[in-house]
Amino acid sequence: MQLPEPAYVFAVYSRQYHVWRKLIGSSLVSNVANPILFLFAFGFGMGQFIDTMGGMSYLTFVVAGMIAYSAAFAASFEMSIGAFTRYFLQGNWNAILSTPVTLAELLMGEVLWAAVKSLFSGICVLLVGLIWGGVPSLSGALIALPIVFLGAVCFACAGLVATAYAKGYEFFSYFFTFWVTPMFIFCGVFFDISRFPDAIQYLAWLFPMTHLVAAIRPLSSGIALDPAAILLHTGYIVLFSILSFAAAHRKLRQRLYD
C-alpha cells in the first residue's frame, strides 16, 4: 500500500484548477449567482413576512444557511456529475491511474479541489450577505469558514460515493432528489428545524448539512456560542467525510481495477 504523497494529490488538484480557470463563467453562474438569487428571494421576499427566526433577523438566519448550502451544492455537483464525467465519459481517471498517481491520491485531489471551489462559493455568498447587512459578526463568520471547508469536503466525499455506485447519469436524479434537495429543505437552511415533527428532526440530524448549519449560524450571527456543540457538529462532519471517502474508495477500487 502506497501512502498518499502531496505532490500527486496536487497534480490532480492542479488539473481541476486549470480547467476551472477556463470555464470560470459557467462556474461562477452556477456556484455563486445561483445562491445569491436564492438569498435575494428568501432574504428579501420572505424576510418581509418573518421578523426573526432562531433569535436573529431572518436575513441573518438565511445568510448563514445559504453559505452552507452554496458550498454543499457546489461540492455535491462537482463530485457527482462532474467527477462521473471525468471518470466514465472522458476516461480521465483511467489515464491518470496509468501514471504513478494512486487511486487514493486521485480521489483526494478531486475532493480537495471540490472543497476549495465550494469554499469560494461560500465566501461569495458571505460577501453579499455582509454588504446586505446579514452578517452581524464578521470575525465569527471568518472563524466559520474552515468549518465550511470541512463541510465542503464532506459533501464532496458523499458525492464521490454516488459517483462510485453510478452506472449512468440517471442515477444522479436519485442523488439530487434524496440527498441534495433534502439538505435544502430539512436541514435548517431556511427554517428552524425545531418546527418539524420529532421524527423529521431525528432524520434531519443524520444529514451533515444540519450539523454544518448548526455550527456556522451562531458564529456568523454573533449570538451566544456553545463551543462544545460546534466541536461536536464539526466532529460529525469529519467522521461522515472519512466514512464516505473510504466507501467511495473501496467501490471505485473494485470498478477501476479487476
With contacts defined by CB under 8 A, name the span among 70-78, 97-105, 121-129, 137-145 that binds other proteins. 97-105
Using CB under 8 A as the binding rule, whether residue 26 contacts other proteins is answered as no
Using CB under 8 A as the binding rule, whether residue 25 contacts other proteins is answered as no
User: Between residues 91 and 133, which has the closer beta carbon with respect to other proteins?
Assistant: 91
> Using CB under 8 A, which of 101, 112, 145, 157 touches other proteins?
101
Cell of 77: 455537483
Task: State the number of binding residues for other proteins (CB under 8 A).
Answer: 28
User: Between residues 104 and 148, which has the closer beta carbon with respect to other proteins?
Assistant: 104
With contacts defined by CB under 8 A, name the span among 13-21, 45-53, 68-76, 224-232 that binds other proteins. 13-21
What is the spatial distance between Cα 21 and Cα 243, in angstroms, rounded to a whole number?
31
Secondary structure (3-state) at 114: helix
> Using CB under 8 A, which of 12, 64, 123, 126 touches other proteins?
12
Helix extents (H) in the chain: 6-22, 24-28, 34-39, 58-77, 83-84, 92-97, 103-132, 138-165, 171-175, 181-185, 198-204, 208-221, 227-256
User: Between residues 11 and 142, which has the closer beta carbon with respect to other proteins?
Assistant: 11
- The amino acid sitting at 120 is F
Using CB under 8 A as the binding rule, whether residue 131 contacts other proteins is answered as no
**Angle 94-95-99 (CA atoms, 0-180°, nearest 5)?**
110
